[in-house]
Amino acid sequence: MDANWDDLRLFLAVAREQSLSGAGKTLRLDPATLGRRMQRLETALQTTLFAKSPQGYALTDAGQSLLARAETAERAMRNAVADLPASTDVLSGQIRIGAPDGCANYLLPQVCAAICDQHPELDVQIVALPRVFNLSRREADMAIAVSAPTAGRLVVQKITDYQLHLAAAEGYLGSNPPIQQLQDLRGHRVVGYIPDMIFDRELDYLSDLGITRVPLASNSVSVQINWIRQGGGVGIVHDFSVPAMPGVRRILTDEISLTRAFYLIRHADDRRNLRLSLFAKALTAGLRAEVARLEALA
């Protein structure tokens, strides 16, 4: 399994500081969280990257090899940002993005606002719908999806992976039987999608867990999250949404952990559209950074 840029960015800080505390100060992350992310990276790569001791984190041979790759990726990211034009009049006019409502509610607002700060003449419209967008009908200039389409005249770019876990409100957990393993969910009210309205197989989280009854169901991620926030039950949530849910915490994180991805989809005819290409570059970079930031706070 390959490391993504979010993993490499954190790895670079630990490798350079040779300690979790030093890297945590640089990244403004809790050292314990950073330690878990490094352990997850080592597990994903099936190799030991650091020789850990009271004196700090020293790179192993495998770690040194990954460091070279990570620094190459870092230079590529910097070059990509440097290639963006500095003038504020390059990105202007209206751009419409279609996206599933989890991304549209918890990621796109702040990412697009930051882009508009740099390009005041730009107007961005976010269309949040729980379905696949039809770019051939020009429903949007570009769309974000949770799976890569295989048909149509489309250009597809993977943006980033993201994580999902079970979560529940502290109040719900305190007033119901403890949840210590997956089997314990049988005695709890589950929040999730309406089964026959799941528009993408990647969103069918609960069936993968063997859960067939969903007492509180909606086709909207926002509705599901509000149910969970208000103590309605237990459900799968995006890690990047957890910081926006005070009083909600993830559970069974060692037993249940899901990874999905976001893809940017554009019509093939727009490949040579400089304005849309510049926006797409800024959008993908912003989404990667924001997912990494919010997941680190989860």
Please report the pLDDT score of residue 249 as a whole number.
94
Q: What would the DSSP string read from start to end of 228-293?
A: HHTT--EEEEEGGGGGGSTTEEEE-TTT--EEEEEEEEEEGGGTT-HHHHHHHHHHHHHHHHHHHH
Would residue 87 count as lying in a domain? Answer: no
Question: Could you give the C-alpha distances from 32 to 19, 20, 243, 245, in angstroms and in order?
Answer: 11, 8, 17, 21
Pair (10, 73) in one structural domain? yes
Residue 8 and residue 18: Cα distance in Å, rounded? 15
Please report the pLDDT score of residue 128 as a whole number.
87
Q: Convert the pLDDT of each residue in 146-181 to its tens digit.
A: 888 877 778 899 999 999 999 999 999 999 999 998
Q: Quick one: angle between helices 31-45 and 274-297, nearest 10?
A: 110
Q: Convert the pLDDT of each residue in 15-33 to its tens digit.
A: 988 999 888 887 778 888 8
Q: Are strands 234-238 and 154-169 parallel, antiparallel or unpaired?
A: antiparallel
Please report the pLDDT score of residue 55 as a whole number.
84
Pair (255, 266) in one structural domain? no
Would residue 137 count as lying in a domain? Answer: yes
Q: Is 90's pLDDT higher than 80? A: no
Q: Which CATH number do you get for residue 156?
A: 3.40.190.10
Please report the pLDDT score of residue 74 as a whole number.
75
| Domain of residue 271, residue span | 93-160+261-297
Please report the pLDDT score of residue 88 as a whole number.
42
The total number of structural domains in the chain stands at: 3
Please report the pLDDT score of residue 80 as a whole number.
58
Q: Which CATH number do you get for residue 168?
A: 3.40.190.290
Structural domain ending residue among the three candidates 32, 49, 82: 82
Q: Is 83's pLDDT higher than 60? A: no
Model pTM score: 0.67
User: CA 109: distance to chain centroid?
Assistant: 14
105 falls in which pLDDT band (50, 70, 90)?
Answer: very high
Pair (12, 23) in one structural domain? yes
Q: 121-135 b/e with 16+ CB inside 10 Å = b?
A: ebebebebbbebbeb
Q: Is 142's pLDDT higher than 60? A: yes
Please report the pLDDT score of residue 268 as a whole number.
83
Q: Which long-range contacts (CB under 8 A, 24 or more apart) does 52-59 make?
A: 56/18, 56/19, 57/14, 57/15, 57/18, 57/19, 57/20, 58/18, 59/15
* Cβ proximity of 190 and 213 under 8 Å: yes
Would residue 41 count as lying in a domain? Answer: yes
Pair (170, 233) in one structural domain? yes
